């Protein structure tokens, strides 16, 4: 088991899911909608993701010897987004994508969907700005939307290489002279019909 855990931890460090398993028959499907407004140019890279967290890691997770506490267990899973219009993308998120299971011999780990996110890049070239947005699970499930605003001046590249731009909730988060040079990304969820 110790070798399996060490291998799993290396996998997580490299962006994998470690011991976590996917539910072979997820049923709680939601449509993930991404809309881009007033962008200064096209985006060659539009990637979606869904985040899942174990809500009871203290009861089920691996105990970290240095602290005596269980470490946080989380997984970021890719969401395939399809372009459905000039500035709109859609994909499917499953709230029950992760498999509840006893991964460490201490009890069943219970997974919960915690939100959906997106990453956009102009051409996908190394060093370009990564425009990032995220919508929390409660808003996603209710069918609410989350809009982030970004300054055109960061497209396609900011002065820092590979800059992560998280945007602002509202245009007034920017200097007045930039407020008419913004674009936005809106994320929303809605329950998929069977």
Per-residue confidence in pLDDT tens, the chain, 194 aa: 577 777 767 766 676 677 889 999 999 999 999 999 999 999 999 999 999 999 999 999 888 888 888 888 899 999 999 999 999 999 999 999 999 999 888 999 999 999 999 999 999 999 999 999 999 999 999 999 999 999 999 999 988 999 999 999 999 999 999 999 999 999 999 998 76
* Secondary structure (H, E, C), the chain: CHHHHHHHHHHHHCCCCCCCCECCCCCCEEEEEEEEECCCCCCCEEEEEEEEEECCHHHHCCEECCCCEECCCEEEEEECCEEEECCEEEEEEECCCECCECCCCCCCECEEEEEEEEEEECCCCCCCCEEEEEEEHHHHHHCCEEEEEEEHHHCCCCCCCCCEECCECCHHHCCHHHCCCEEEEEEEEEECCC
Among the listed residues 11, 93, 78, 12, the one whose alpha carbon sits nearest the alpha carbon of residue 45: 78
Q: What does DSSP say about strands 130-136 and 45-54: parallel, antiparallel, or unpaired?
A: unpaired
Instruction: Report the predicted TM-score, pTM, of the whole model to 2 decimal places.
Output: 0.91
């Amino acid at each position: 088991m110790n070798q399996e855990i060490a291998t799993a931890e290396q996998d997580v460090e490299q962006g994998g899911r470690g011991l976590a398993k996917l539910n072979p028959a997820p049923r709680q499907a939601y449509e993930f909608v991404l809309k881009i407004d007033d962008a200064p140019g096209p985006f060659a890279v539009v990637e979606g993701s869904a985040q899942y967290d174990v809500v009871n890691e203290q009861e089920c997770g691996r105990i970290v010897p240095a602290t005596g506490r269980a470490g946080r267990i989380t997984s970021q899973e890719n969401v395939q987004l399809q372009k459905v219009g000039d500035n709109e993308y859609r994909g499917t998120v499953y709230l029950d994508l992760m498999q509840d299971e006893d991964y460490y011999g201490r009890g069943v780990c219970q997974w919960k969907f915690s939100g959906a996110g997106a990453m956009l890049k102009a051409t996908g070239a190394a060093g370009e700005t990564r425009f990032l947005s995220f919508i929390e699970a409660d808003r996603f499930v209710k069918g609410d939307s989350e809009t982030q605003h970004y300054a055109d001046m960061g497209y396609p590249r900011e002065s820092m290489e590979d800059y992560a731009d998280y945007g602002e909730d509202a245009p007034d988060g920017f200097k007045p002279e930039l407020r008419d040079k913004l674009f936005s990304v809106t994320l929303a969820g809605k329950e998929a019909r069977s």
